[in-house]
Amino acid sequence: MTVRSGVEESRERLVALTLLLQSASRTRPLSQETIVNELLIDEYPQRGRVPRKVHAYEGAPVAVRQKFERDKARIRELGWQIETGASDDGTIGYWIDAESVMAPALTWTDEERRVIQLALRLYGFGASGAFSLFNEGPGADSGLEDSTYLNPILRGVRLRRVVRFDYHSSSLRPRVVEPLVLDLFHGVVYLVARVRGTEQVKGFRLSRMTSMPYVTDERFDVDDEALAVARAWRPEFGPAPRPVRAEFAASESSARLLARQYPAAEVTPMRGTAVRVTLNFESLRAALRFALRAGDRVRVLGPKVLRGALHDWLGDVNVGPVPSLEGLTFDAPTADSTLGQALRLLHMVHLSDGGLRLSALAQRSGLPSDVVRHIMDRLVTFEPLRGRYGFPAHVIKECDDWEHEDTQDALYHTEEFADDASALPALSWRDLFEVNIAVREALAVHDDPVMRAVVDKIEKVAEGWVQMDEMVPDEVRGQVHDALDAHERLKIRYTSGTTGETTDRTIEPREMRVLNGYTYVRAYCLTHDGWRTFRVDRIVDILARSPADVPRPSDEVTNWLTQVGDVGEDVDVVVEAASRWLFETLPRAQWHALGDGRHVVRFRVANDAFLDQLMLEAGAGAVVVTPRYRSAGHDLAGRIDRTLA
């Protein structure tokens, strides 16, 4: 891979400007004139062994101003807010409030770092998340929806500052809100906020925000009552929902799964092999959502209002007019920016005792070695404003053979700091948020005092700005995790998510990950002699454990958790705003906004049963356009409807 001069020049200028603005402050801002006159970068193309320094911004005043404004916009696109203020002489100056990006420095014991590593393997954002800051390789597809919007939103929540952003719900329009808390439901992050100028509390899904949130200088007050309303918000939130007590008939194995997932469930025998399961829901909508997720694996017995609501819903599954999609273009998946890459590598070096070698940086970042070498060598040569401002990111390079440095596995480390604890490298607020969520999720697999100590340490500086679904410790998940660590074989009783059939399997677990609120395990299945993915909440029982001492063939599927996005056939579905949330977590999904407020989502499906269940849950809000799948969900809806007769 060749690194182009233009890309490198832009990257170095952006990184230099970002780090320089962090070294400025409200009392010592930097004017555009100062930056333009004195900020130096390497000359391109580079000539000779030692690059010649040139001004980062050169040219006519209008061109310089335009380039400077573009660079500020690109920094803000990463969620880093550039503050603007006037000096005593009236000159406009700029700075980045370091506390808006970086959390207070926390020190971790070796045992705490170990449990953080394990938690991020189970439940990380992915390649651009905190995984590579604690582990030796790049993150895999799993965990939460990754969003740079977290940086400014976390700032608004912590500082009680009004936030503005564009949001696509029934229509695309700007929102002005008072952010109260971040909520996590089934792996999806919502900002719960009060609409500015009202008492209305609403939830905003981060994936529907279409512009970088802007944290204003306007502050707001909030009382305990408003916070209680925000913490009680749920995706099905509505005014004064009526509780519903619902009854279902299920097989014995399905009933046991439900009893494990819902500890308050009442299970009683019925005639024959069926079992009655009674559950309490906060609203009719919540009971209906449960029945739809269960599909035809349960039969709704009552109440009558729930049976009626389900009957009406089933009649609208994948029904409606199909628009022409000729000439449609879809938004391309976003890629990490050159600025984001450089800052990520710099962060890795800062957080590593003794620094990191080129090979380790390439492995952690997933970038080619020559790209990493170019980026890191530029960081080494930075001399912003010739030492007049404290620069928070000076990097030192060490080589065993400087005559052949272009082929050396160089070591990069940061300059020693003074005895100032505030100068120690810290995690960004977004990284700290991810570590917090990952460790909390891991506690549901294995209740560990060290993990609880990590959560307490984070919450002490985070002031409780996040809440999530209550993670109930699960004995089966814990046993699967223990077997994975001990390299053991498990004999399990498993209920298929597509057929509902319960069978005995013998598996050898290799890896666990969490996606969209569900835990999955990748294992070699001796019953079917091949690699399979199992959803842990569908394991009814663990019947036996034994050592796994026979070599198995390599797993050919790299991204096994999101394989649905890599194999199969493309399917186009038209969705309304109310049902869009079901499709937003699909791997590799691409979107196009129609003029009537609806959206088209394109994704890949590996089997028909997956799409049938998806369309069942979407109901009247979605219609398949792809001819081959025009009847998706019809048979499943019909089977369920017949059980209501």
Q: Is residue 403 part of a domain?
A: yes
Name the pLDDT band for 24 (thresholds 50, 70, 90): confident
Name the pLDDT band for 140 (thresholds 50, 70, 90): low
Name the pLDDT band for 368 (thresholds 50, 70, 90): confident
pLDDT digits (tens, 9 = 90+) for 464-478: 777 776 555 567 888
Q: Is residue 577 part of a domain?
A: yes
Contact present, 365 and 132 (Cβ < 8 Å): yes
Is residue 541 located within the same domain as residue 609? no
Q: How far apart are CA 147 and CA 144, in angstroms?
A: 9
- When pLDDT is averaged across residues 393-415 and rounded to a whole number, the result is 82
Interhelix angle 110-122/449-462, nearest 10 degrees: 90
Is residue 535 located within the same domain as residue 479? yes
Mean pLDDT lowest among 17-21, 96-100, 116-120, 195-199: 96-100
Type of residue numbered 113:
R
- Mean pLDDT across the chain, nearest whole number? 82
Beta strand ranges found along 284-335 (DSSP E): 298-302
| End residue of a domain, out of 547, 578, 603 | 547
Q: Is residue 178 part of a domain?
A: no
Q: How far apart are CA 119 and CA 421, in angstroms?
A: 27
Is residue 583 located within the same domain as residue 534? no
- When pLDDT is averaged across residues 424-445 and rounded to a whole number, the result is 81
Number of H helices, E strands in the chain: 18, 27
Is residue 519 located within the same domain as residue 595? no
Q: Is residue 49 part of a domain?
A: yes
Q: Is residue 481 part of a domain?
A: yes
- When pLDDT is averaged across residues 374-398 and rounded to a whole number, the result is 70
Q: Is residue 82 part of a domain?
A: yes
Q: What is the largest CA-CA distance in the chain?
A: 87
Mean pLDDT lowest among 415-419, 433-437, 503-507, 574-578: 415-419
- When pLDDT is averaged across residues 277-305 and rounded to a whole number, the result is 89
Q: Is residue 503 part of a domain?
A: yes
Q: Is the pLDDT of residue 83 over 50?
A: yes
Q: Is residue 468 part of a domain?
A: no
Position 51 scores a pLDDT of 62
How many CB atoms neighbour CB 551 within 10 A? 6
Which of 108, 193, 207, 102 has the alpha carbon at shortest distance from 422?
Answer: 102
Is residue 289 located within the same domain as residue 262? yes
Q: How far apart are CA 314 and CA 320, in angstroms?
A: 13
Q: Is the bond preceding 239 in cis, omega lying within 30 degrees of 0?
A: no
Calculate the CA 243 to chain-centre distance.
32
Contact present, 514 and 521 (Cβ < 8 Å): no
- When pLDDT is averaged across residues 64-81 and rounded to a whole number, the result is 85
Mean pLDDT lowest among 90-99, 222-231, 467-476, 510-519: 467-476
Give the total number of structural domains in the chain: 4
| End residue of a domain, out of 423, 450, 485 | 423
pLDDT digits (tens, 9 = 90+) for 595-620: 777 889 998 887 788 899 899 999 99
Percent of the chain that is helix, strand, coil (3-state, to 5): 40, 25, 35
Considering the chain, what percentage of its residues have pLDDT values greater than 90? 20
Is residue 10 located within the same domain as residue 83? yes
Question: Pick the residue with more confidence: 500 or 164?
Answer: 164
Burial of 428 (0-12, 13-18, 19+ CB in 10 A): buried
Is residue 577 located within the same domain as residue 510? no
How many CB atoms neighbour CB 128 within 10 A? 22
Position 374 scores a pLDDT of 80
Instruction: Supply the range of the domain harboring residue 518.
Output: 475-547
Helix H or strand E encompassing 459? helix 449-462
Length of the chain: 645
| End residue of a domain, out of 314, 334, 360 | 314
Specify the CATH number for the domain of residue 497: 2.30.30
Residue 498, strand partner residues: none
Q: How far apart are CA 176 and CA 165, in angstroms?
A: 7
Is residue 594 located within the same domain as residue 635? yes
Contact present, 476 and 539 (Cβ < 8 Å): yes
Contact present, 295 and 610 (Cβ < 8 Å): no
Position 629 scores a pLDDT of 93
Q: How far apart are CA 160 and CA 217, in angstroms?
A: 10
